[in-house]
RNA sequence: GGGCCCGUAGCGCAGUCUGGUUAGCGUACCGGCCUUUUAAGCCGGCAGUCGAGGGUUCGAAUCCCUCCGGGCCCGCCA
């Protein structure tokens, strides 16, 4: 059984409506590593619904957290100085670097939120800042303040150095300098928290002393308390989270205790997951090691990312590589897809693969089989022509499309577009080529190579060739001209690409305009 | 100091939860086919003491214990 279904089963056993939460601190661009969070939450929602029970998945923007570090790309150039002054501010109060966005939070989160439906994710969106400002957190804050001693003793169980006697689980926003990370709560009374702006290790405080109304966003709960408070507030029954929270004595452990003792709430079913890394480095929004959902959609279908996440267990580290390795991932997906529709053997393994395929779908699983064109070939074809009709003709002649349905043609054209983008952005240099507008000047061909090209030009002018015929024809022409085949191949690549090798000649030339090729070969043979 | 993950064919991995036919897949490699193939396709082949040791069991890659190697996380920010 797939782990998503195992979780769903556990939840159903507990009974009631299931609320699966996910959430991210807006500490920079939201990348595909963060996607684990939402994708898992929403998949569990789907699985619970498939079992016939009510479920909802939510995504929570932790936009009231302080900015501890200026994230990439705002930490470069002139912007760096400007944004440094916002260190310690709640994210929600920081301006956008781009006038097209309302705020820092909007700038980093909107592209992510807008991409979610394209990946088949249906989550309810919440904002931490909104929750505090609207007063919805007020009751929880009061409970936490009243039970500060209990909370302190829970946290102290896992601390070497105990928290001070007068410690309170809230951070106020300084009304003078606007920072939240710099304040220390001194006391509380009714709806107000008295604080002093003392500073923190990465930014100084302003020394201001004041009172904050926590029923209107004047203060937030510290993370370890905020998390369980949120569980209670939203009725969270299950939550995926990064493995950092899952460590013994970490925020899940303490959260569980606080939930029980302070909020009288059963902690959600936990799903810890591993990070995603890219080229050996863990994805990190603040450090600029990012690959966003938007970037993903430029080079691969959304199903592939879902597949990437659901094909392995959540605690298994994932390595993402947008380069050549991506093509392996895509091929693997295609294979699972064709096996799904191909019937074949029935076993534990096949069953698992089928389920992973279903979980990878953006919407309903297609009832009619889906056949896709090979991405690797698309990467070549996309560089040869942008003409859609011509592309489809070539694909049909190459038998990569057989009596294609409307859908298959649509998928093929989309994949060509994706492959074109991939080649431009991520392909290794040796996979890229460009057909030269002009015959390159610096090349020298032997008389026999010229003779071969001239012959090819004549033959092309005489009759139609399928790609395979054409490819084979090159060999016979070479033979008649007394050339080794590789010498003729080299000549062809030189006059068209200016390099000694290239894509397979049959495909390649078939994809080009015939008159163009004839003219080029003739010109080169003079 | 604590915790997690990984170790299965040259390489990348699935299978481990729920033990059960000759341990799979991809790739690489070798061979063949499509009139000869420089990045397409098809068919076939080679290849593994399942990290080591012990235990449980009729039966262990799978469960338990110990150890070795690699990686990551937490240590009072979230």
**pLDDT, tens digit (0-9, with 9 covering 90-100), for A257-300:** 999 999 999 999 999 888 888 877 788 887 888 899 999 999 99
Residue range(s) occupied by CATH 1.10.10.350 in chain A: 447-524
What span, in angstroms and rounded, lies between the C-alpha atoms of A269 and A18? 10
Q: Which residue is nearest to nucleotide B1 (CA to C1')?
A: A160
ipTM: 0.86
Q: Given this model, what pLDDT does residue A389 score? A: 87
pLDDT digits (tens, 9 = 90+) for A193-243: 999 999 998 899 999 999 999 999 999 999 999 999 999 999 999 999 988
Q: Which residue is nearest to nucleotide B6 (CA to C1')?
A: A316
What span, in angstroms and rounded, lies between the C-alpha atoms of A133 and A215? 7
At the topology level, CATH places domain A447-524 in Arc Repressor Mutant, subunit A (1.10.10)
Nucleotide nearest to A475 (CA to C1'): B36
Q: Which residue is nearest to nucleotide B25 (CA to C1')?
A: A332
Nucleotide nearest to A272 (CA to C1'): B4
% of chain A surpassing 70 pLDDT: 98
pLDDT digits (tens, 9 = 90+) for A17-74: 999 999 999 999 999 888 888 999 999 999 999 999 999 999 999 999 999 999 989 9
Hey, what are A511's tokens?
A: 């994809």
C1' of B67 to CA of A242 (Å): 30
**Which of A151-160, A168-177, A374-383 has the highest average model confidence (pLDDT)?**
A168-177
Q: Are A271 and A57 in contact (CB under 8 A)?
A: no
Nucleotide nearest to A505 (CA to C1'): B38
- End-to-end alpha carbon distance in chain A: 68
Q: Given this model, what pLDDT does residue A118 score? A: 95
Which string of DSSP letters, residue by residue, matches A71-123? PTTTTSHHHHHHHHTTTTSBGGGSPPSSTTSSSHHHHHHHHHHHHGGGGT---
Nucleotide nearest to A328 (CA to C1'): B26
C1' of B65 to CA of A452 (Å): 74
Residues belonging to chain A: 526
C1' of B66 to CA of A280 (Å): 32
- On chain B, which bases lie within 7 A of the protein's CB atoms? 2-6, 13-18, 24-27, 35-41, 71-78
Work out whether strand A318-320 and strand A276-278 pair parallel, antiparallel, or are unpaired: parallel
Hey, what are A215's tokens?
A: 């029923």
Nucleotide nearest to A5 (CA to C1'): B17
> Which residue, among A238, A232, A279, has the nearest Cα to A58 in the 3D structure?
A238
Nucleotide nearest to A336 (CA to C1'): B25
Residue A497 buriedness (CB in 10 A; 0-12 / 13-18 / 19+): middle
Q: What mean pLDDT do residues A296-315 have?
A: 90
What span, in angstroms and rounded, lies between the C-alpha atoms of A76 and A97? 12
Q: Reduced to 3 states, what is the DSSP secondary structure of residue A58?
A: strand
> Which residue, among A164, A42, A173, A119, has the nearest Cα to A362 in the 3D structure?
A119
Query: Is A151 a residue whose pLDDT tops 70?
Result: yes
What span, in angstroms and rounded, lies between the C-alpha atoms of A408 and A338? 13
C1' of B2 to CA of A252 (Å): 15
Nucleotide nearest to A399 (CA to C1'): B41
**Which of A156-170, A473-487, A510-524 has the highest average model confidence (pLDDT)?**
A156-170
Q: What mean pLDDT do residues A63-87 have?
A: 92
Q: For residue A388, how many C-alpha atoms fall within 13 Å in the half-sphere facing its CB? A: 8
Hey, what are A130's tokens?
A: 């909104």
C1' of B71 to CA of A315 (Å): 13
C1' of B36 to CA of A484 (Å): 11
Q: Reduced to 3 states, what is the DSSP secondary structure of residue A378?
A: helix
Nucleotide nearest to A499 (CA to C1'): B38
C1' of B70 to CA of A333 (Å): 28
What span, in angstroms and rounded, lies between the C-alpha atoms of A436 and A421? 20
> Which residues are within 8 A (CB) of A27 and not within 5 positions of it... i.e. 6 or more apart?
A65, A67, A68, A69, A71, A91, A285, A286
**A66-80, A104-118, A130-144: the lowest-pLDDT one:** A66-80
Query: 10 Å Cβ neighbour count for A398?
Result: 19
Nucleotide nearest to A200 (CA to C1'): B77
**A131-140, A145-154, A233-242, A383-392: the lowest-pLDDT one:** A383-392
Q: Which residue is nearest to nucleotide B16 (CA to C1')?
A: A313
C1' of B34 to CA of A412 (Å): 25
Query: Is A345 a residue whose pLDDT tops 60?
Result: no
DSSP code, position A29:
-
Work out whether strand A238-242 and strand A269-273 pair parallel, antiparallel, or are unpaired: parallel
> Which residue, among A271, A276, A274, has the nearest Cα to A240 in the 3D structure?
A271
C1' of B55 to CA of A351 (Å): 33
> Which residues are within 8 A (CB) of A421 and not within 5 positions of it... i.e. 6 or more apart?
A298, A299
C1' of B28 to CA of A512 (Å): 32
C1' of B19 to CA of A243 (Å): 29
């Amino acid at each position: 059984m797939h782990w998503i279904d195992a979780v769903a089963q556990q939840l159903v056993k507990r009974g009631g409506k299931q609320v699966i939460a996910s959430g991210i601190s807006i500490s920079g661009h939201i990348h595909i590593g963060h996607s684990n969070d939402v994708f898992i939450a929403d998949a569990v929602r789907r699985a619970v619904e498939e079992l016939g029970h009510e479920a909802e998945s939510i995504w929570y923007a932790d936009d009231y957290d302080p900015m501890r570090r200026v994230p990439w790309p705002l930490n470069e150039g002139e912007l760096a100085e400007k944004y440094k002054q916002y260190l310690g501010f709640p994210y929600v109060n920081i301006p956008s670097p781009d006038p097209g966005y309302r705020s820092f939070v909007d700038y980093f989160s909107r592209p992510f939120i807008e991409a979610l439906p394209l990946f088949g994710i249906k989550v309810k969106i919440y904002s931490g800042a909104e929750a505090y400002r609207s007063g919805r957190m007020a009751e929880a804050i009061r409970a936490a303040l009243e039970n500060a001693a209990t909370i302190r003793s829970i946290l102290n169980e896992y601390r070497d150095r105990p928290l001070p006697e007068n410690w309170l689980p809230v951070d106020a926003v300084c009304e003078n300098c606007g920072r939240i990370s710099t304040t220390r709560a001194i006391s509380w009374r009714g709806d107000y928290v008295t604080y002093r702006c003392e500073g923190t290790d990465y930014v100084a405080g302003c020394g201001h002393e004041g009172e904050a109304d926590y029923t209107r966003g004047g203060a937030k709960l510290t993370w370890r308390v905020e998390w369980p408070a949120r569980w209670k507030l939203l009725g969270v029954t299950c939550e995926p989270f990064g493995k950092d929270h899952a460590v013994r004595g970490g925020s899940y452990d303490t959260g569980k205790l606080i939930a029980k003792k302070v909020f009288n709430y059963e902690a959600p079913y936990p799903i810890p997951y591993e990070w995603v890394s890219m080229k050996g480095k863990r994805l990190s929004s603040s450090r600029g090691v990012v690959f966003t959902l938007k970037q993903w959609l430029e080079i691969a279908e959304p199903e592939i990312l879902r597949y990437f996440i659901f094909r392995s267990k959540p605690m298994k580290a994932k390595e993402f590589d947008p380069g050549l390795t991506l093509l392996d991932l895509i091929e693997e997906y295609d294979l699972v897809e064709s096996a799904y529709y191909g019937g074949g053997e029935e076993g534990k393994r096949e069953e698992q693969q089928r389920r992973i395929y279903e979980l990878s779908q953006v919407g309903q699983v297609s009832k009619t089989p889906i056949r896709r064109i090979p991405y690797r070939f698309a990467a070549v074809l996309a560089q040869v022509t942008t003409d859609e009709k011509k592309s489809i003709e070539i694909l049909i002649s190459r038998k990569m499309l057989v009596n294609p349905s409307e859908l298959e043609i649509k998928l093929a054209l989309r994949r060509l577009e994706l492959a074109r983008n991939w080649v431009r952005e991520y392909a290794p240099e040796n996979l890229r080529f460009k057909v030269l507008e002009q015959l390159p000047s610096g090349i020298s061909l032997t008389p026999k190579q010229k003779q071969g090209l001239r012959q090819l030009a004549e033959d092309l002018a005489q009759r139609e060739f399928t790609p395979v015929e054409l490819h084979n024809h090159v060999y016979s022409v070479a033979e008649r001209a007394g050339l080794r085949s590789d010498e003729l191949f080299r000549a062809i690549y030189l006059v068209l690409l200016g390099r000694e090798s290239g894509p397979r000649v049959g495909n390649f030339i078939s994809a080009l305009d015939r008159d163009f090729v004839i003219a080029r070969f003739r010109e080169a043979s003079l």
